[in-house]
Structure 1
Amino acid sequence: MTNTTDAPDDAPRCSYCGEAFPTERLRALHRGLEHYESLDEGERAAFEDAYHSESEDLRSFRLRALAALVALYFGFLMTYAVVAV
C-alpha cells in the first residue's frame, strides 16, 4: 500500500488498514467511515466526537463563506452604482 498523505513517519496509523494520518481527529474520522463495524465503544465515541466537531467546523466555514460572498456582491453593486452614475 502506498502512503498518499503528507503524514510524518511517526503519525497516527489506522490499526485496521495501517494508513497514516496527520492528526488523531482524521484517524478517528477514517476509522468511523471505513471500519465502523470493527470499532469498540471507545473508538466509536471518538469517531462521533470527531464527526460532530468536523460538522461544526464545516457549518462555520459555510457561514463565513456566505458572508464573504454577500459582502463581495454588495461591494461590487455599490462600486457599479458609483461608477455608472
Structure 2
Amino acid sequence: MSGPRGVSAAAGPPGRPAAPGPVSFKAACPECGARFELDAGALRLVIGGSRRTTFYSFTCPECRASVRKPAGERIVELLTGGGVSTLRSI
C-alpha cells in the first residue's frame, strides 16, 4: 500500500534486496488517520471474481476500527508475496 490510503511492503534500500525475514506492510486508517506497519498475520486478503469483490482488511491498532480496502493487481501481488492469508471467493 502506498500513500495514506494504500499498503506497501517495507523493503530494503533502493537497489538492494530486502533482508530475509518477516515482511511488514505500511497502512493507514481512514477512520482515525493513524499510520502504522502491520505484519502479514494482521491482514486478510479476499480475491473475488471482480475488482469490486477483491479487497484486503485489517483492524486499526490505534482505534480498533475494522478497515476494508479494495485490492488491485499490484496490492494482491504484494500481499500474497508477503505471506498474507488469502481467501478466494466465487
Q: TM-score range by the shorter chain?
A: under 0.3
TM normalised by structure 2 equals: 0.24
Whose helix fraction is larger, Structure 1's or Structure 2's?
A: 1
Bigger radius of gyration among the two: 1
Whose strand fraction is larger, Structure 1's or Structure 2's?
A: 2
Identify the structure with bigger relative contact order (alpha carbons < 8 Å, sequence gap 6+). Answer: 2
